[in-house]
Structure 1
């Protein structure tokens, strides 16, 4: 049996190995998955990706499975709830950016039919 070759950054942490083998570098065309990555990448700014990966399950629960409609409707009460959630990255600017990104995401979907069509249009849908 051949041993799988991985990028050196994957190291031997199981969470990184799984991310490398199952997600990294693979095209994504599902809008909710694209929204999840948009939110997580925003949360990662200034931090290591492993920090976000370790909190991913908590993010999924806290942000209603990354449903852009629900996230776009978050009010100050929900933002306060998120800022008190020790399972996620509790940065007000990042949390409010997620809400704003939910609203912008929905506008893109409305205009282009899907976020997938919009984003992949920049590379001729390949």
Structure 2
């Protein structure tokens, strides 16, 4: 079976690739969680975040933005002592800010709709032959990043946003030889 080469030979990474990555996500809260986790990934490998994902979920109240949006300095201090997550003050503080921004967008139009409107409500289909053909960011991820920042989000630069778009299926960037590419062209 052919996979995107980034999945390597780690069973956890392969399972993530085969069952989650690139599958269209339409749930607003789940989209926010994935955007937060992609922000924590900045400067690190995704497998590091994937191995700690359950710890993140426990530490951040199941990624309930209504809860996280109310947190303050005491919560940041508590999270900075949690060895199960990435203990980066800026990323933790950004998660609280991002929860507040998420709630505003979700109340206005739905966070899912906000994001999916950029791609006309269905995944963009690419036909990349190799991983070398996959860009780090695109003009669309630059625009979404700008719009998220304008709405109050942090840790959402164009590269983070593009990784998020790939993970959440806004774009099908499985390479053509990968067994998941064809399956997700009809998603």
Does TM, normalized by the shorter one, top 0.5?
yes
Superposition deviation, residue 96 in structure 1: 0.2
Structure 2: gaps spanning 5 or more residues: 123-187
Counting matched residue pairs gives 122
Q: Secondary structure at the match of 2:85?
A: coil
2:96 alignment counterpart: 99
Paired with 1:82 and 1:117, the residues of 2 have a C-alpha distance of 31
Given the alignment, which residue of 115, 119, 127 partners 1:119? 115
Q: Distance in 1 between matches of 2:74 and 2:6?
A: 39
1:5 to partner: Cα distance: 2.5
1:14, CA displacement in angstroms?
Answer: 1.1
Higher relative contact order (CA 8 A, sep 6+): 2
Give me the whole-angstrom Cα distance separating, in 2, the residues matched to 1:23 and 1:86.
26
Aligned to 2:77: 80
1:33-72 correspondence to structure 2 within 5 Å? 33-72=30-69
SS of alignment partner, residue 15 of structure 2: helix
Question: What secondary structure, in the 3-state scheme, does the structure 2 residue paired with 1:35 have?
Answer: helix
Partner of 1:110: 107
C-alpha deviation, 1:50, in angstroms = 0.9
Unaligned 5+ residue runs, structure 1? none
Which string of whole-angstrom CA distances, capped at 9 and with x for unpartnered residues, describes residues 55-102 of structure 1? Answer: 101000000111111111111111111110000000000000000000
Higher helix share goes to which structure? 1
Query: Match of 2:7?
Result: 10
Q: Distance in 2 between matches of 1:120 and 1:100?
A: 22
